[in-house]
Structure 1
Amino acid sequence: MRFLHTSDWHLGRTLHGVDLLDHQAAYLAHLVEVVRSERVDAVVVAGDVYDRAIPPVEAVTLLSETLAQVAEHATVVVTSGNHDSATRLGFGSAVMRERVRLRTRVASLAQPVELPGDVLVYGVPYLDPDSVRHALADDEGAAPARSHEAVTTAAMARIRADLAARPGRHRAVVAAHAFVVGGEPSESERDIRVGGVDHVPAGVFAGVDYVALGHLHGPQRVSGPRGTTLRYSGSPLAYSFSEQHHSKSSVLVDLTGGTGGEVRTELVAAPVPRRLADVTGTLDELLGAAGEPHVDAWTRVTVTDAHRPADLYRRVRDRFPHALVVQHRAESAAGPARAVAVTAAHDPVAVGADFVEHVTGRVASSDELAVLRAAYEHVAAAERSA
């Protein structure tokens, strides 16, 4: 059985104010063509289909059209990520056509989609510990601990129980949206810490053949238990400058040889609408030969003249029409330390603690850290319920 693993489409996202929907549409058209040309049996989308809980109308339309096109050739299994509203993404799942299967409810995570070759695909939606702990309580009513590891462990226990109860032998695939230990993050993934922890050990996923992971934007394989292949497909587009060196792709997976057989993976390169590049130098250098290779790229331009050049922004934009960031930063060995840019990958509580230290001249106390964490988690919970 052959399937295509993809994730983190983030439909509706922008890049420094640039609308990416046309580029996302180009990727999805490419995906449909891969499904057709490679005779794919299923497409597994491991969360973060949309970029926010209430996506723009154009993003909803694009998803609808894409699912319809893919379903002409293959079964589609879609799970929700931490950016999605599970309820909105899963709306209508009960009446969807047979080849479009949405898995956005905890109650359904141990109900697999059955595919040819005795292959079972279990779709695990993003498991926010505060939201799903009690829904994952055991037979005695005991809820798992308040952590990503605990709720994922409870979810996998249900999946393994379903597998064990089925007669015969099956190949098992799990689609999950999580930060698995050993994965390499980028700047553009939203922080998912609860209680200061966001990681899930890879060993939690033991007992299945392939784990189609979503959340991290760089395509990568994660070392896991023997007999289980764990891989992030990564996002189809670069959503931050930290991703400029990624080779964006989808994962073509072949399950061969029946139970206990081989898992073969092949990366299928995604189209690159416009590459990202950091360009640094004096203005004269950038206006000259040094800037020539980057004029068609989305650029982050850092001008290093000792003094800010006159009419800097206009001159840079004339040279680099797709510049997204233009900044002046004089090179000086004796100058003050450069400020560190705060991105979505930073722990918001740590950022708040740094601010406390900056304004008070002392390290934040444990009580202050507790207040910061409670405030952050209150806001995060309110955003999830929006």
Structure 2
Amino acid sequence: MTSSMGSLSSELLIEIFFWVKSSFPGASNLLPCLTVCRQWYEIVVPVLYRHIVLNTDNVELFASRFNLQHASYVRSLTLRPTQPTLSSYDLSSIIAANAELGRRLLRLEPLLGSLDRLLSFSLHVPAIVPERCRFKISARSIIGLVNSIPQSCVNIEIDSGGYDRNIIAGGEEAHVCECLRLLLPRMNHVRIHLSLVCPALVGVMATPYQYEMDSLTPAKFPHLRSFLINCSEKNTSNSICLPAKTKDTPLYRHSIHPWPAMTSALQRFVDTPDCCPASALIRIHTTAGKDMANLGIHNTMVVCDINSHTTHAFPIVEISPHRRFGWLVRFDDSEGIITTSRGLVDVAEGQLWKTLMGGARLPSPIADSEAQGILEVPIVEEAVWRAKNPEIDCALWNNEALVGRKLLHAEIRKEGKTYMNPVPILEERIQ
């Protein structure tokens, strides 16, 4: 067995080791391969460290034990933070757990700066977060990580999953948007999903926290290829960035959804000469909620393509809240799919970022070129899913059965500035 494996070419061994890393438990299976022989060691080390994926439980161990001699092999680092285990759900335990997460992330900052060949960094909170946990990633942690990213890194994803509501708090100015803007001039691919976001992400405001577009001086991002801002949040918890609470300004302003300010800022950014390449893909995504008093109005994913002045609006219907595949999405051709809550985001955004087998998050062009397999978006065609689940029905399908045709369709909006209007889609009335 050993002699036959030893006769394999390096290229074939690399492919095998990438396959091993893509399987569960992945990296753990590769560790014994390091001790087989010198050839295997030299091949396995670059594969093992090419895409680093860390979570709350192992980030501190990695920071303390990582051999800096291997730093040159690391091309991407994906951080998937969750809340440390709670002893109870009382407020003191929650505060302590969030503080512990911040302490662990702090350990990563000096190491992150030493990865001098890093190309891509992702902070991506997993979709499944325990209910009632009040999980928060502090602004200080996000800014500390962003400021530690080495100059070699040209792709960044910051997706808190909406668990960053304390982004400006305690009387401290901790403005993540301004911090990110300083980083973006060298970036190729950018994806931002924060519960608080504002035009300071793409330009300098004459007066902080005053969002009149005439006062915005757009920044220049000359290397930009794709830039996506996700303003969608369940329970509509998004808000535009607010000033810190101080003794002079004891009250926060009322929460304002960032969509109007962000779409206007992005349009100004794109329309200003030399701010970004004409070929750059600039998108912003939100969700328009349905009117509970009108059953004909449906939740709608709204994706605005700033360059082409075009918005795609996709209606979504919750089919089965008790199943993983429980969401129906309709497209421009009125064909539909059933997917998961996380799949909704991937579908709406067009998968500008993808997840490799093993958990690494990368921009789509890079992920597609990797030997490591891509984790497919969980999608089932509407007709196929209904055939397999005949016992599950909904009001939309019942209405469509009555008239014998589709009553809910996606929309393409292109009329002037109204293309930015994130209104939900209305189901056709049965005559």
- Same fold at TM > 0.5: no
Identify which of structures 1 and 2 has the higher relative contact order when contacts are C-alpha pairs closer than 8 Å and 6+ apart. Answer: 1
Relative to the length of structure 1, the TM-score reads: 0.33
Relative to the length of structure 2, the TM-score reads: 0.31
